[in-house]
Structure formats: structure tokens, C-alpha cells
Structure 1
């Protein structure tokens, strides 16, 4: 059990921001990362469809044998985490609670904004999590429907990306927040543009990065940290869509010369149907 990999899933490349941090803090652990690029982005999709896509990726990973599952996707965490905690026999970690806890800890004026996908904002889990920790918090959620595609298409590397980010974030201008939560794991790739678009004294919380401490705590609590005397750890990548674009972004973001990427054929996911209420 200890030497099994940690499974991590996201709708696309965004979860690589979580993986990068996890690999840095847990260099002895193996990781299997699944990107559902065939169905990305999740933000505008129905709850039913998102659960089905995520369930298929989970079953794929369970068949590969993993010891812990990380939902490196805010949308999946908002919609599906509570169901999965009851359904799965291995620990499951989402990114919303860690991000909420950090934001409540660092805010000074009790005004917190969260930017995320439409599905995450509509679900309301961020607002519930934050206000459970501090009922006096003034909260504003803003959906940024174009941000995921901005990253997945690599348009975030173009100078024109700044104007697009400025326009999307303009509703936050009058909120007077002092803390902004990046409520989608794609958004850290846009961090330079986001920082330029908001007030300089606003603290940015990366929800995905904050989840890594929970991963570490969970490994220790369950006594499933990898045995460092075992074979060399491995990192494998799987994608449900075309793998070359994912591989290009992954190499650049993770600073890797090589990536072991396998494209999942649709037939490998057939028969995995989420039927729970």
C-alpha cells in the first residue's frame, strides 16, 4: 500500500500546478495524473456530466492501483467530493477546503473574493466553506468562463491575454477585497496577469497549492507515506484527449525534458457509470 502512487485528476492541465507543488514537497512519492482534456472545460457542463467524467477517471486510476486520490480540480471538488468521501475506501482530498482555510487566515479586512469556473461559483461551496470558518466574512464569487481555455490554448502566453484578464476581473474593482482565492487550478498559470489586474496589496491564495499540506498530513495520518528504500518513484500522465498539446504545456510548466503521456482510449472508460444519487 505505501508504495502505490497518489492519483490526481483534473479537467486538463490546471492540476499540474498542484502536481508541481506536490512533487516538490513529496519527492519520494509516485504520482499518476489524469487530464480529461476530451471534455475540458468543466465549468459550463452539467453536474451529471461532470460526475460521470470524474467517475470514469477515478475508476481508471483505481484499476491502476492508487493509495490516495486528489481532486486537483475545484469544480470536481465542489460538486463531487462529499459523494466520493462516502463511496471510496481510500482517502480523497479536494482543493476547496484548504483554499478557504488559508483565505480566512490571511484576510485582514474580512473581504474575500473567489474567482473560479461558472459551475464552482454556482455550486456555492466556497462561500459555505469560508462563512463556516468566519460568518462575518464579506464574500464575492466571480466566474471567469474564458480563463480555462485561455490556458489550455496557451493564449495566456500572448501579450493580448492581459486585456482579456482585465476585462473579466473588472467586476472586482469596487469590492475592496484584501484576499483573492484562485479557485481553479488553471488560474495560477495566469497569475502574472491577475496580479497586474488587481490592487497590489491584495493577497492571492492558490487553493491547489494549499491542498498539498493536506496531502502530506493525510499520508502521515494513514501511515501510507512511500518507503524511501523502495524502487525509484515514477510520475505518469494520462489524457482522455489529444496528448501533444498537454505534453507541451506539461513540459514547460513542470520543467521536464520528457513526459510519459498515455492517451486513454474511449473504450477503456466504457462501463464506468456513476449511478449514485
Structure 2
């Protein structure tokens, strides 16, 4: 993969956004594009979306990628719907400054709450997590009992149960909120006694219901898959919504003629709104390798891109 330090991806507002002050970026946003060589934008509430980046690079290694993780405001799952919509529009607006050809909402909470608003506001294809994950889950169940774990927002909005019911009304869906999984994942507690104890409590209703398929309805959850698998048992199929979403991106770009024709490895550039002390270690767990360079953009600037009270 091309060294991110030598990335050919540019933001028309600035040559470098590392530790950027909000007042330094005041020109109008760059519009979306239909250029196949343009980057794909990906955002998440934190670093869980890096699991989606990993799968997308595996599927489309020649695509250029711009990632934004809103690590200063994670988690989104405990926020109100209005706040999630506001943050999601801000995140997408930031990615649009790079002239992206598509945006992947690599956050199940944002996908369940803000997808329609994003599609109404931005002209580029917007790919969420819910529909791909639901379709993938339906393809694996044998007993028509599917479990879904996610944030409180994803579960309370019944995003997966609604979509699965639309696709197959005969399936029983059991949803379970697992709010502590995100902070555990962000801390890198992938095999911690506390993680296992909480997993046992969260997953008991799903085990008791006899689900044979479990959708990991949050992009943070795949790095906890060993703990989840141990608790659920080897007969339960775990569905990674990030893998499903990567297939959906391939399909969308193919149908729109937006696949990058270049045969060289794509560039990657990574932005976050905060860099915790454990970031590099935890990010490598999600992505599967070290990120050479992380760029920080201030939350004040991200917040300035959209306000529910002003727009």
C-alpha cells in the first residue's frame, strides 16, 4: 500500500490539515465528483470504521481512501437522534472537501439514524451499513432466528429488525444493545476479564433465544469477535456488517462506472478529531497494520460545517 505520507489525495482548502485551526479553512466546500480516480470517503464515530477500510482495501486495493474518525465525540450510540444527524452531516461535509466520489457511513448508529438526511443533502452515492448487513445475515440463517447486537441508538431505532422484516417477514429478530462494547474496543480490551463478563450478560438473551446467526451491528465489534464467539458458541455464525458493506460499495461503484481504472495501489489518508494515547495501538488492531501518519482536525472546524439550528 502506498505510504500515506506520500498520498496523492488532496483537500482543495489546505495542503495540510494536521492540527488545523478552524479559521484557517474558510473557503466554500469542494463539490462531489464523478471522476473514477477520486477518493472514497469513509467516516465513523471513532476508529471502528477502520475495519470497513480494511475490508474495502482488500476488495478494491487500487481505490484512494480518505477516512475521518470522530474520536473526540465518540460514541454516537448514546447521543440523541438529532445530535447523530448533525454530527453525521458535519463528518460527510468534511469528506466532501476532498472531492470524494462516494461516502461510506462506516457507523451503524449513523446509518440507522442519518442515512436519509445524508442522501438528501449530498449528491454522491452514500452507502450505509444496515441494508448490506441485513442481507448478509439473511443469507446465513438456517432456523430463521437472527440476533443483532449494536449501540442503543441502532437498537432503539430498530434499524436491523425493520430492514430484515422488509426483506423476509418470516424471520425472528432479537436485538440487544451492547453500549459498553464500544469503549472496550476503543481501549483495546479485546480479551479483558471485564469484556468477557459484560459479554456474558449482554449475549445471554440471544443464546436463550437460540439464534443461529448474529449480526455485529457496530463496526467496533469485530475486534471483540473472539470473545463474542466464545460466548455464543461455534455453531452461531457471526456476520461482520463491514464486510457486507464493502461488497455493497463494490456493487455501487461498478453500477455507476466509478471504479478506479488505475492498476496501482491506492493512497490512504487518515483524519481524526482527537488522538488518544492508545490510538496507534488500537487503530492497528482494527486496520490490521500500523497507520504511518495520523492527521488531526479540530472539532471546532468540523462543528462549523453544519448546525441543526442554522441550516
TM-score with structure 1 length normalisation? 0.94
Q: For 1:156, what is the secondary structure of its paired residue?
A: coil
- 1:71 paired with 2:105, answer yes
- 1:191 paired with 2:225, answer yes
Q: For 2:139, what is the secondary structure of its paired residue?
A: helix
Give the Cα separation in 1 of the matches to 2:74 and 2:303.
18
Aligned to 2:79: 45
Return closer, same or farther for 1:270/1:104 CA change in 2, 3 Å cut-off.
closer
How many residue pairs match? The answer is: 276
Give the Cα separation in 1 of the matches to 2:174 and 2:299.
39
Is this contact kept in 1: 2:199–2:227, CA < 8 A? yes
TM-score with structure 2 length normalisation? 0.84
Aligned to 1:97: 131
Which of 120, 123, 127 is 2:161 aligned to?
Answer: 127
**Following superposition, which runs of at least 4 residues in structure 1 exceed 6 angstroms of deviation?**
none
Could you report, residue by residue, the CA deviation over 1:105-131 in whole angstroms, capped at 9, with x for unpaired residues?
221111111000000000111111001
Note the C-alpha offset of 1:45. Answer: 0.6
Note the C-alpha offset of 1:144. Answer: 0.3
Which of 139, 145, 153 is 2:173 aligned to?
Answer: 139
Give the Cα separation in 1 of the matches to 2:37 and 2:277.
29
Is this contact kept in 2: 1:32–1:237, CA < 8 A? yes
Note the C-alpha offset of 1:159. Answer: 4.4
Return closer, same or farther for 1:141/1:270 CA change in 2, 3 Å cut-off.
closer
Give the Cα separation in 2 of the matches to 1:226 and 1:55.
26
Give the Cα separation in 1 of the matches to 2:265 and 2:218.
31
Give the Cα separation in 2 of the matches to 1:125 and 1:252.
27
Q: For 1:106, what is the secondary structure of its paired residue?
A: coil
Give the Cα separation in 2 of the matches to 1:60 and 1:163.
38
Q: CA RMSD in A?
A: 1.8
- 1:118 paired with 2:152, answer yes
The answer for unaligned runs of 5 or more in structure 2 is 1-34
